[in-house]
Amino acid sequence: MARIQQSIDVGVPVHVVYNQLTQFEDYPRFMQDVETVHQLDDTHLHWSAKMSYQPLEWDSEIVEQIPDRCIAWRNDGGPMQTGKVELQPVGDDKARVIMTVECDPALVPSERSGNPEEMVALRIEDDLARLKQFIEERGSETGAWRGEVHGGQVAQGTDDGIGKTVGQTAAEQRESARSGASTQSPASLSQASEEDADDGRYSVAAEQSFDQQSNQARRVGQMPLDFSAPVPGETDPVEAMAKAAKPDDKENLKQSIERSVPPSE
């Protein structure tokens, strides 16, 4: 059994690298020969790959995961038995990624000739270089899960450092991060809609109706906008208002109205 280690410095903060490394289903984007990774739950993955034209599938279990520090796993089958990636900050905007694997190099398919252990080391070196390029070109992670795993068990009820508890699964956090969708359940959204309907506010159509009514209300008691000569048979507005007044005020009122609203020519 050989123990092989490689490292690389990545030009982003350590938490960005760690967050990206928790997105296991994105590993085919920077790991050669890996075709798919399916996250079965918070601690179990299923891998499929093609190495030297040989299809391979295996399962792995996350046995340790500490935010911004490390992720360790063991494989059931596959080309490498165990692995661990460790992270170290190098200043404020750079991180060192250290990958360590244990395997039997002779059992790792390779298209390269030479020492099997050296071929495995070159494979890991290439994968780390692609990881570096992938993250630096993006400048940010594709998602994050900040829960902790110890001894293959998720640490329940701990704060994940970004406002969530570990009670939300890795799959749910990945989906929320990618879609940007609300985490409210359909039931809570339905309830919110019902509350909005009863909160005293009105629909757009109702508001428009009220505006029309308000316009009509503002015109009550106003003089007609058309002060042209009265139509034969109709009462002159000035005279109508004068008749509505008390007898002893009619003359004064009529004179006041005539002064304020001169007849049209």
Burial of 79 (0-12, 13-18, 19+ CB in 10 A): buried
Q: How far apart are CA 65 and CA 43, in angstroms?
A: 9
- All domains of the chain, ordered by start, with CATH? 2-178 (3.30.530.20), 204-260 (no CATH)
Nearest to 9 by CA among 68, 123, 120, 90: 90
pLDDT at 73: 97
Report the interhelical angle of 250-260 vs 237-244 (nearest 10°).
150
C-beta of residue 133 within 8 angstroms of C-beta of residue 9: no
pLDDT tens digits for range 185-216: 333 344 444 444 444 444 445 444 545 554 54
pLDDT in tens, 57-108: 999 999 999 999 999 999 998 888 899 999 999 988 999 999 999 998 888 8
Residue percentage of the chain with pLDDT more than 90: 49
Task: Output phi, psi for 73, to 5 deg.
Answer: -145, 165
pTM of the model: 0.62
